[in-house]
Every structure is written in C-alpha cells, then in structure tokens.
Amino acid sequence: MIEIIPAIDIIDGKCVRLTQGDYSQKTVYNENPLEVAKMFADAGIRRLHLVDLDGAKAQHIVNYKVLESITSKTNLIVDFGGGLKSDDDLRIAFECGAAMVTGGSIAVRNPEIFTSWIAKYGAEKIILGADVKDRKIAIGGWTETTDIELMPFLNQYFQQGITKVICTDISKDGMLEGPAIDLYKDILRSLPDAYLIASGGVSNIGDIEQLEEAGIPAVIFGKAIYEGKISLKELERFV
C-alpha cells in the first residue's frame, strides 16, 4: 500500500504553502504547525514531510524549533528538509528529532558533502531531493533550473547508496492538477528498487489511488488537504 506523507511547509514559524515554489504566492494555513501535525497524528498518519522554507532561502537551518516541537509532542516520523547545507545543520536537525533529512540543492552544489552524509548516517536517514522542471534538476528553492538531466542524476546517487528519493515536478506543485505519473513510472522503470516518493500536483483521493496503481511507494501532498480537496476520513484506508 502506498505510504501517505502529508507536508508542512514553514515560513516565520507558520504552516504555509507556495504555488510552484514562488515565495510571493504564499498562503498561510495555520499559525501553529504543531496543531496541524497533531491533527495528522490523531488521524493515524505516521509520516510527516517538514520543509523549512526560511532555511531554503537562508541556506542554513532556521525553523529547528518547529521541528523539535513536533517530534517531541507527536509520534510522527519526520523527514526534514530546507536549507541543510553543513554538517552542523544536520547535527541540529537530528538532535531536534528528525528521523530523516532531505538534501536537494546540496546534492547538486556540493556532492562531496552530500555523499559524506550518506556514508556517515546511512542511506535510511538521507533522502535525495530531486526537484525537476522539464526533467532537468532545479535548485535553490526552485529559483534556478540547471542543465542536469534527472535520470543520470538519480543513477549517480543510487550508485552511492541512496535508496530514497523525493521527486517533485515543479510544474505540478501547488496547482492541484494531478501528479506527474508518467515521470514516476519512468523513474521506477530505470530504478525499480527505489523508494520513490511522489510530490506535487495531488488534487484528490483519486490521484493517490492512481499513484498506488502505478506502483509508486509513497506520496507527499499538502495543498489538497489544507484546501479540503482530500479529507482525513478519505485517507483512513491508506493508514
């Protein structure tokens, strides 16, 4: 069964969502992310994807207190990303209760340090973030699209031991127009053993069902649940 992973994105300590990664298209959904996390936990959800959008902009961890609050006051297994650029950032994230961390831009800009994290912490704790636009890797909170092709990028890190990847199609994110299922099928054809986490575009429970039918192991979604397109009740059968 597909693993359900709701997302909480943080700006100024608040639960927000951006549209296509655009900081000027920000909607605040709750002033208190812990309340949101508790709502997910109470519904039987086990995993949470927590993104420090301030950190992504600042190039270092910022909202670690929010992470600590959620991990200390819920039983959610949290993967944390956004602005993790140094060994110190990782130390803080793990000390504040993150079970896993996600590295995206760092895997492009500083592959040596990202590879060292895989060796130090193990592949079960390090998730590769692959944000894509037209199948090219995008970095810096999606402000910069590179010339790096998605599949060689993924293959390179799977050879280094990575097993988990979050792939976000930026063109889909926050648009509520459905996920990039063909893209995810292509990834799994090339990397059948990958723990692929689909992200972006989920608009209703049918999208999650389609991803499950396609054999995608896990899905991250946020806006659909915050805007009432998916109810916690509908998620019960996946929990």
Strands 136-139 and 126-133: antiparallel
Active site residue 87: no
Count other C-beta atoms under 10 Å from residue 20's C-beta.
14
Q: Kind and range of the H or E element at 4?
A: strand 3-11
Active-site position among 52, 54, 89, 131: 131
CA angle 42, 76, 205 (to 5 degrees): 65
CA within 13 Å, CB half, 126: 25
Active site residue 131: yes
Cα-based distances in Å from 166 to 126, 128, 195: 11, 6, 9
Residue whose pair of structure tokens reads 């006051």 in the numeric block: 73
Q: Tell me how far apart the alpha carbons of residues 68 and 94 are, in angstroms, rounded to a whole number.
A: 9
Q: Tell me how far apart the alpha carbons of residues 147 and 199 are, in angstroms, rounded to a whole number.
A: 21
Mention every residue, 6+ apart, whose C-beta is less than 8 A from residue 51. 7, 8, 9, 10, 80, 81, 82
Mention every residue, 6+ apart, whose C-beta is less than 8 A from residue 97. 67, 68, 70, 71, 72, 78
Just list the catalytic residues: 9, 131
